[in-house]
Structure 1
């Protein structure tokens, strides 16, 4: 970056192609090796059932996902391919939008700076609707700017088409439309366009684009609007929402965040002085950023929404080069030109580093076996890992002779089922009995429309199925509830086996369900075990004898064995069968075949265990054959001289 005058080049464009190739290469690699995220796999699943709109969004994300797999086959990379193309084109789109508004050099700098906005550089790695939303948002800004400046019919038509595509992508695109209409109303030199036929052609095209979402909602109890405006948000004040600006500063990187806010203030000041060109981009940014800022304390804080304001940062990026020049001049007057240049280089450098960290952070999920030994348990996310292994395992299970005639697959959550549809290339029907995650994500209504939910499963009377639970996302009480619900669907449900991945951090259980809709009252349900360790307590010090006691209940087929582990190494079997009538009363035990003898005990000399801090846990195996680990806690074994 220059350390001379504010009018000189920022000297960052020479790094554009290197930075772009690094970012693009990382996205290409990770797009190929990462399994699909839950949102991605849902939009792919929607693409296999074409419609103008779905319960949570209109058709665009599904169309892009399906087109990718049509062109490139059934793979995660194919699903992401068109999103990757759109996301990677954002810098070039920013350059095109900026070109008529500023010198070519500054337009190049604006394009380069898109690589330094972490979530902007990240765009396209995931097949999510934010990618086309932002692509069409930037494109709309460029078309509208040219239409209002040139009075060009072709750009008015382009504006209408892009607006139609945008509202066919996501409800949040409405903020761009609102900003555009405010712009045409507020600036006097834009009032003339209300008499321009081109504007009304654009409005007509926009209305056509609204048809899918409007028609779906009118025909389906306003389910999409109801979810996005009501069900998803608590609409109660949450103190955490006041941290929204701080979270954004961290996400954008602090210095770049300050520079973008300064850009917004500068644009607003110029707009108030009558500069309608800058006023357009000020409004596009202000409406997007302002709405999310004001509503942050009242809206959904449990699902990912921190990326939403990105739609407000992209319009500001066009004028960020001007801001950096202005800041350089101001800082040079207070410190020195060289120090000012270093500070701005730091701001840009932190942004690009943030982009790399964001990509590598998500991409690290593809390196589970390599990184887990270094980072330890519970550090790496596995939301985008392990699904390929699951698909392979299920295919092997279905080919086993002892599984009998399995007509369909049933899963406990919707995204496990969707992942299997992709892995198995829809060779076998997949249903889910998800009444939790699907509802929270606004998709339960869609599965009801497709007939792939619990009610649809009930129509498959007499069929047999492979039932799968994703244990790593369930607490034991949750799984007991899921199994109890599953057992009502089959005459008999039998445990088959388990699949554990990544040192047990991702795990699945498999069951064979016979005779859907048959009488289930005569067969025990293979529910998991629920246990508790009374002693030792967390952090306890063991001097002579390590004594472990507690209780386990299994209101299915009962508990089989209990194994004690120290640092994941078996050290013995606990004795099970101590009378615990208190547990029967407290836990309201009704059907455990071992009740009231639900207690267990185990003792071992402390000298038999290496001294120091150790991790104790228990592994119980039910009569059904299913194993579970519980009671994990750290204890101290006294050192002996």
Structure 2
């Protein structure tokens, strides 16, 4: 009894503290681009969408209808489901392994980083994980006794899962395999009540099937064909390293042990243990194998979570056999892992901390800059003529601005990102995909970081063909320009003439993150298609510190940027002697201010520089 009470108190304390922290973070964290698009889908109510079934969008709509246009309101339904998840696991584990194991299983769900951070973002993984737990609970109960209540719970779980994500098909398949491998499971699969539940679950896929039939299987092709190379990739081995880190190493090893033990047939092994182990282990193994052939460009580390949840149910029973020191280390590592993940979200939600990631490969661009962009757009809209429309160059900016401005009808240009993320068909259905033509003035918002730098000049040329010559832009640099937006005030009619594009630049020396003395040379190149540049200033922490000699020979620049139309090639190099004797030692940010011959002034992205004592 003391053991049960201690486990219960631990669970209640962990659940309360972690839930409170998640609420605080969710209220501060900028909207992730996928969340913004799900909000936009929710504002165009439908049974299914190009990228997902309908439930995620419906939940965002429910949150904002009740709580208003705020990130916490949008995320509230997801936070609620995620908060219920540990309680469900506790209930299931208590039934089969005792109350103490149940409370500890719930605590592990709270502490495991992948599960403990669930709900902070409004993503389909939340209802899908909830549906998975309902199905595994129903399956375990059916193994003991087939009754109408368990069959109804199975039908509910299958329905929620079908409305959550295409990936839930894998959960269904693994569940059928797990039942088929058990004698009791084969008995379950022969019962008509179970097949009625399966039929109801299958019926829940009808909206998604109908959408695909009406739209040439666009959603299905994106999820199963377009986004995956379906060719062997040796990087699949990283799955083990990444998952061990996200689950925490000792807990990951415990999950593997639960799976291995599920193959035992003797030693009084409960059928439920074998069921949970097979359900979770086969799913996790499947994702491991899939990683050698599937999409590795987009985030996929969260995919195995539905497989971990069944395994977690039996982990506390397994840990009883481990030495005390190892048990303590497992709990401590799990807690430390969760703190790291929540800390990362906290950093992302604090602009002053987030900018420290600028110039790093893992800079969180999809969370950054939306408030600054919205403020700049509002200022430009107030300055421009009444009736000026808003036009975004891709779905990210369109959805994020849509949420911030409470406008789900912002038109979007055709963009590689729309295709890459499966959003182009949906934008066309909403009649929000623009070809650039217009009959009113427009404010065009361009995310310059949404195209690889080597392809950016070609993209700008294509943009110019769509909307006409680009006027001098207002540049919105966030986090030293590592999130960068350009705002163009376009006339009512598409004008003709040569393309004038935003400026391009590069600092050859010093290199990014270089350590220098107080006096050093800055050299590089810069050009501006259509009109050229008349000067370059060197900036330190946003303030001019030197005027560069511009117009130096730089033949390699024109050779690389073959389609450039700057009339001053190859004389587009610059050099400057910088004296920072009065500057404080330590980290500074080196930048450029580019003066165009058309009167434009553009601040280029900054790079870190370390000044010696």
TM-score w.r.t. the length of structure 1 is 0.86
Shift of 1:377: 6.2
Mapping of 1:285-434 within 5 angstroms? 285-327=280-322, 340-369=323-352, 372=355, 378=360, 381=364, 383-400=366-383, 403-426=384-407, 429-434=409-414
Q: 1:245 and 1:466 mapped to 2: Cα distance?
A: 47
Residue 490 of structure 2 corresponds to which residue in structure 1?
A: 513
Q: 1:361 and 1:537 mapped to 2: Cα distance?
A: 28
Query: What's the Cα RMSD here?
Result: 3.3
Mapping of 1:555-594 within 5 angstroms? 555-565=529-539, 570-578=544-552, 584=558, 587-588=561-562, 591-594=565-568
2:347–2:353 Cα contact (<8 Å) kept: no
Distance 1:344 1:470, change over 3 A: same
Q: 1:146 and 1:541 mapped to 2: Cα distance?
A: 64
Residue 448 of structure 1 corresponds to which residue in structure 2?
A: 428
Q: 2:76 and 2:132 mapped to 1: Cα distance?
A: 20
Distance 1:272 1:449, change over 3 A: farther
**Range with greater deviation from structure 2 (61-70 or 267-276):** 267-276
1:532–1:631 Cα contact (<8 Å) kept: no
Q: 1:51 and 1:628 mapped to 2: Cα distance?
A: 43
In structure 2, the gaps of 5 or more residues are none
Residue 335 of structure 1 corresponds to which residue in structure 2?
A: none
2:541–2:590 Cα contact (<8 Å) kept: yes
Q: 2:267 and 2:335 mapped to 1: Cα distance?
A: 33
1:54 aligns to 2:49 (yes or no): yes
Shift of 1:92: 0.5
Shift of 1:372: 5.0
Residue 502 of structure 1 corresponds to which residue in structure 2?
A: 479
1:494–1:511 Cα contact (<8 Å) kept: yes
**Number of residue equivalences:** 611
Q: 2:107 and 2:513 mapped to 1: Cα distance?
A: 53
**Range with greater deviation from structure 2 (148-157 or 290-299):** 148-157
Shift of 1:447: 1.7
SS at the partner of 2:80?
helix
Deviations 1:463-493 (A, max 9, x none): 2211112234455554433432332233553
Deviations 1:228-252 (A, max 9, x none): 2221111222221112112211111
Distance 1:486 1:283, change over 3 A: same
Q: 2:24 and 2:52 mapped to 1: Cα distance?
A: 29
Shift of 1:495: 2.7
Distance 1:542 1:381, change over 3 A: closer
1:69–1:79 Cα contact (<8 Å) kept: yes
SS at the partner of 1:399?
helix
1:539–1:636 Cα contact (<8 Å) kept: no
Mapping of 1:453-464 within 5 angstroms? 453-455=433-435, 457-458=436-437, 461-464=438-441
Residue 629 of structure 1 corresponds to which residue in structure 2?
A: 604
TM-score w.r.t. the length of structure 2 is 0.90
Pairing partner for 1:252 from 244, 247, 250: 247
2:38–2:60 Cα contact (<8 Å) kept: yes
Q: 1:106 and 1:538 mapped to 2: Cα distance?
A: 52
1:185–1:191 Cα contact (<8 Å) kept: yes
Deviations 1:227-283 (A, max 9, x none): 222211112222211121122111111111111111222233148978432232122
Q: 1:419 and 1:545 mapped to 2: Cα distance?
A: 43
Pairing partner for 1:17 from 12, 16, 19: 12
Shift of 1:406: 4.2
1:34–1:385 Cα contact (<8 Å) kept: no
1:123 aligns to 2:123 (yes or no): no
Shift of 1:442: 1.8
Deviations 1:47-78 (A, max 9, x none): 11112211121111111111111111111111
Residue 552 of structure 1 corresponds to which residue in structure 2?
A: 526
1:240–1:297 Cα contact (<8 Å) kept: yes
2:170–2:283 Cα contact (<8 Å) kept: yes
Deviations 1:64-116 (A, max 9, x none): 11111111111111110100000111111112222321222221221122112
Residue 333 of structure 1 corresponds to which residue in structure 2?
A: none
Residue 239 of structure 1 corresponds to which residue in structure 2?
A: 234
Residue 138 of structure 1 corresponds to which residue in structure 2?
A: 133
Q: 2:239 and 2:127 mapped to 1: Cα distance?
A: 24
Residue 228 of structure 1 corresponds to which residue in structure 2?
A: 223
Q: 1:248 and 1:534 mapped to 2: Cα distance?
A: 38
Shift of 1:194: 4.4
Distance 1:613 1:346, change over 3 A: closer
Q: 1:274 and 1:635 mapped to 2: Cα distance?
A: 61
1:256–1:347 Cα contact (<8 Å) kept: yes
Q: 1:310 and 1:562 mapped to 2: Cα distance?
A: 51
Q: 2:403 and 2:585 mapped to 1: Cα distance?
A: 50
Q: 1:178 and 1:18 mapped to 2: Cα distance?
A: 36
Shift of 1:617: 4.8
Q: 1:226 and 1:610 mapped to 2: Cα distance?
A: 56
Residue 275 of structure 2 corresponds to which residue in structure 1?
A: 280
